[in-house]
Every structure is written in C-alpha cells, then in structure tokens.
A and B are shown apart, each in its own frame.
Chain A
C-alpha cells in the first residue's frame, strides 16, 4: 500500500511539475487581429512587420507574462468584405486589438463595427481625415480608433505644397511648374489645392493636366509640359502609370526634372524595377532606410533579412503599433480596452518614421520629431536619399544626368 501511495504521490508531484510551466505557458495569449488586403504588397508587409514585432516581444517574455499571437482576416479592397473581416476577428476570434487597414473606403465602413465590438483599432494604411474625425465627433463610441500611420491626406497635401514653395521655389529657384496627375478622385481633389498653394507661394503654374489611368503613351503629355515652359514637373501618380511614366520620361531624356506623390515609387524596388530610369525622381515617402530614428535602419535591415523585400509604408505603422499597444498594456497592467485607451493616449513612442504621439482625435501628430512626408530622391545605384525637409536631409539634390545644371 505504502509503495502505491508513494508511487501515486510521486506521480502527482511529477504531474504538477510538468503542469506548472504548462499552465504558465498556456496563460491566454493576447490576440492581435489583422484586417488587411492579404493579396497586396501593403497587406503582406503589414503581416510580416507585425510578425517581426510579435516574435521580438515573445522572445523577451511577452506582455504581462502572456504571449502575443496574430490572427489575419482578408479585408480586400471591398467594404463588405472589410466588415466581414472585422466581424470574424472580433466575434469569432475574440481578438484583443486590431492592427491593419489599407483602403480608406473600407476602413470608414468598418468603423461602426469596430466601435460596436469595443475593440481597439490601430490603423496603419488608410489616410482619410474622416476616419479619425469620428473620434472627435463621438468620443464615447469611437475612442477605440487610433491612426499610427500614415499621416492623413490633409497633412500630406500641405506638405506637398511646402515642398513646392520651400524646395522647388525656395531652394532650386524654379518658379515655373507644371502639375500632372491621374484622373482619380483623390488626385482631382488634391491638384486644385496644390495649384492654389503653389500660386500663393509665388510659383507660376503653367499647366495642370490629368491623364487616364490606363495611359500607355505619355509622349503627348510630356510634349505639352515641355511646350508650357515649365521647368519643374510635379506629378501625382499611383498604379501602373508610375512605372511607365518613369521609363518614358527617361527614354526621351525629358529636359525637365520631376517629383511629387508617386505611390509606386515608394516601393523599395521601384528604381531597379524600371531599370534605374527613375534616378533623380523625387517621391514623397513616409520612411526610407535612413537614420530618421534609431529604429529606422535596424527595422529596414531586419525586414529585408526576413523577407528579402524592402517594406512598404504599411509595415512601419504595423510594426510600431504592436510595440505601442504592448507598452500601453504593460502600463495599464491589463488588456481592458478602456484602461489601454487611456494609456495609448499618453503614447510617446520612438517609432520607425519618427516619434509617434496622438492628438485629440487619436491621429498621429506629424511634423517636428513626428513622422513627416519625406521627399526622397532616387540617386546613384538606386539608393534613396531624403532631400526635403531640410531637417531630415541625408544627401544633396541631384539633377538628371542629361540636364545641365
């Protein structure tokens, strides 16, 4: 009998010994829901950047002794699917926080559902000012919404105007400009603002022109720009036209330099992809591999090591969001949404594009030490250098090889 009881007690001790760490390990993980466009590069980079941060935090023991875990749902670019993604993540997966987003239309459609689920949402992709405007209009219902990146479209427009007045006019001394953009709603809204801003800054806007997004031959457009007498070409491009534009601008050795908002030129591989033909183009970006903060270069290198890619802009906000949330939970000592929101509002986090702090609308504060709209030039060997704003400048501006200074 005695031997049996010894045996039983030793078994129970052993079981307890085995079970004890198992219990600690199975302490419910903190679940991060990621609604994003999974098939697009923005979505893929969002996931990879979040995974990077999760692995790092878990390796250091997690948050409040709990591991972090990622659950992804595809929101595509369709509002209906976006809403289903939020419902899946909040109702079925019961995530503690949502980090993601890309298309403003989808995010706007998701907002009421995020608010109903009382789940914190850290936006990393959509730029519409209307998203965070909700927080101010109805704080109690929409306090869950934060935007970590990118800086919103209003700030972006202002910074492009600053670029025209401060850099093109101020530093390059070029007064005659042309503005061309794709026939898309956001571009048509933006161009008149730019024209007004540039004119007020004393620039002479010789031409504003839109082109179809399917345009495959830019020669007529370039000829018009040349005929207008403009000496600098401001572009607003996205989609396929970015690649074609750079190639045809270079192939014709077009005698006018260009720069502006060029969504595809934000990609790390853009210059190589177009065979180096974008060298000297300036494209606005939210972060590049430059010493913007102590985190920027290590992040770019680690991301490239893990994925063999250069990250697109959603990756910066996504990676920062995980740390920002983890720190807020640590400070709040709980994952309770209300407690974490209070801590998130106090955030001052040195992130990848700058110091992340939130304004009263839970929107990331731009300028100063915060994230800026950086005007980045493709330079020799397809390296990216920040040339404007001056505070972040990493290299001097270069002119296209075929234009005499």
Chain B
C-alpha cells in the first residue's frame, strides 16, 4: 500500500511537470504545442551532452541544458509559431514538424543508441520498508518545488499578473499596455524549461534516445484533456490521477496494462466532459 503511495507520487510528479508547461502555453497563448515532448528530450540530451562530451559537472550541465532548451522554446515561438498563430491547425502542424525535425537531428547527431543522464543521487532510501531510488525522490521533491515556484510566480509577481491577464483576454491586456507577444515568448520559455527539467530529472531512471519525446507528449495530452486544457490546477489533479491510476493498475493487475490507462482516460473524458475537470469550455 505504501509502495503504491510512494511510486504513484513519483510518476505523478513527472507527469505534472510535463503537463503544467503544456497547459500553461495553451492557456496563455492558445498554442497546442506538439513539440513539448521535444523540449523534454532535448533537456535530457543536453544534460547527457554537457556531462559526457564537455565533461561539465552534473548540476551546471543541468542548468545549462535547461537554459538552452528555454532559448530554443523562445526561438520556436518567435520565429516559427508567431507568424501562424492565428490558425490553430497551422500551429499544430508546425509544432509537429519541429518535433520530427528534433527527433531526426538527435538521431543524426547521437545515433539510435540509448544514452544515459547521470543521476544526481545514487543512494537508496527505505521509507516504511519500501526501497526507493534517491533519484526518484529527488524528482518528486524537485517537481513539487518547481511547480510551487511557478504558482507563486504567477500569483504574486507583476509579470505573473500580466501572464494571467493575457490568458484571460489577450486583446484587453494589450489595451492595458501589456505586450502580449512578449508574454507569449516568456511563457513558451518557461514551459520549455519545465519540460527540460522533467527530462533531466527522469532521464537517470528512464532512458535517453531520439524517440523519447513521443510518450511524454501523449501523457501530457491525456492529462490536460482530463484536467481541462489551460487549467494548471486541473493538470496537477489529472497528473495525480493518472500517475496513481497507472501505479495501481501495475500493482494490482499487470504492468502490461498500465499504458492503456492514459488513452482510456482521454477517451472517456472526451465523451463524458470534453472540457475536462476544470476546463471552462471544450477546447476542440
């Protein structure tokens, strides 16, 4: 029972980190960013590259990787997405194209082999008789901290208020003197940075290879549909639900059934309540 509680929390934390960024950029800029998984992959590859090729210590390598991915996110938003932002279909296509290009570039640069991001913590911890890898606990702690910081940033700072204002009504915010384009750029950078951090934290106990972007985007999609596109509390709640549902299925039924959970949840939610748990209206 305690095992389910702990391992479910770790899965949920990683999912929440992925989904919050994904839902944030949608909520603020109405960008359905299919390249979100690529930011996750690039974060992991960045940490791998800086530690194994440039021989940087892990912590600076991780920060550098996050910064580079955030810049890449800003580039994607400014150069590729902005000219087509009025059409959601065009945004979908261009971000999908970015994801596929990133995959191919990773493939050509690093090959199809699996790579490793070193773990921040290698020790094992025993909590109430349950053995948990230190890196997993770190991922859980870091994820909770980062999401809390993001929450505080949005709720308590001037820039955060501007982001909220733009998410409610970009045009009105513009009239109030808030440069909405700049807000979109900042949010895209933040969202990319969060995904990269998730990749770096999960990389050591998962694996790093060019197609690793796909599963996270599927999970993030499922979570934001269940939670309501654009709603951060919805995403966190849905991430918890999905993380725990998968862990419970794994423990009580079989690990071969876990991957179907997210797809089923998405389908069910789209049929029963297309807007999601906290969504105000259906996004599609």
Task: State the A residues within 8 Å of B (CB).
Answer: 39-41, 183, 209-212, 214-221, 223-224, 240, 243-244, 247-248, 251-254, 264, 267, 269, 272-275
Contact = CB atoms under 8 A, between A and B. Distances in A.
A251 B130 CA distance: 12
A218 B119 CA distance: 17
Contacts of A212: 255-259
Interface of B: 3, 7, 10-11, 111-116, 118-119, 122, 124, 131-136, 204-207, 209, 215, 246-247, 250-251, 254-259
Nearest to A44: B111
Contacts, number: 93
B205 A247 contact: yes
B215 A216 contact: yes
B250 A247 contact: no
Contacts of B204: 247, 275
B256 A252 contact: no
A217 B133 contact: no
A42 to B, nearest CB: 10
Given A209-B254, A211-B256, A240-B209, A219 B7 contact: yes
B124 A253 contact: yes
Contacts of A272: 116
A120 to B, nearest CB: 30
Contacts of A216: 206, 215
A140 B115 CA distance: 47
B41 to A, nearest CB: 13
A161 B255 CA distance: 25
A402 to B, nearest CB: 8
B207 A215 contact: no
A216 B136 CA distance: 12
B114 A211 contact: no
A297 to B, nearest CB: 24
Given A219-B7, A223-B3, A248-B205, A41 B254 contact: no
B254 A275 contact: no
Contacts of B116: 243, 272-275
A251 B135 contact: yes
B136 to A, nearest CB: 7
Contacts of A274: 116
B255 A221 contact: yes
B215 A217 contact: no
Nearest to B10: A217
Closest 5 CB pairs of A and B: A251-B133, A220-B250, A211-B255, A243-B207, A219-B7
Contacts of B118: 275
A223 B209 CA distance: 27
Contact of A214 (B11, B114, B133, B259): B259
B247 A252 contact: no
Contacts of B255: 209-212, 215, 218, 220-221
Given A39-B112, A220-B7, 20 more contacts: A41-B113, A212-B258, A212-B259, A216-B215, A217-B10, A217-B11, A219-B250, A220-B3, A221-B250, A221-B255, A224-B251, A244-B207, A253-B131, A254-B131, A264-B114, A267-B113, A272-B116, A273-B113, A273-B116, A274-B116
Contact of A273 (B115, B124, B132, B250): B115
Contacts of B254: 209-211
Contacts of A40: 112
A215 B259 contact: yes
Given A217-B7, A240-B207, A247-B204, A252 B132 contact: yes
A294 B7 CA distance: 50
A220 B3 CA distance: 8
A210 B122 CA distance: 28
Contact of B205 (A183, A220, A223, A244): A244
B205 A210 contact: no
24 contacts: A209-B254, A211-B254, A212-B255, A214-B215, A215-B255, A216-B215, A217-B7, A217-B10, A217-B258, A219-B7, A220-B7, A220-B250, A220-B251, A220-B255, A220-B258, A223-B251, A224-B251, A243-B116, A247-B206, A251-B119, A251-B124, A251-B133, A264-B114, A273-B113
Contacts of A221: 250, 255
B154 to A, nearest CB: 29
Contacts of B132: 252
B3 A219 contact: yes
B64 to A, nearest CB: 20
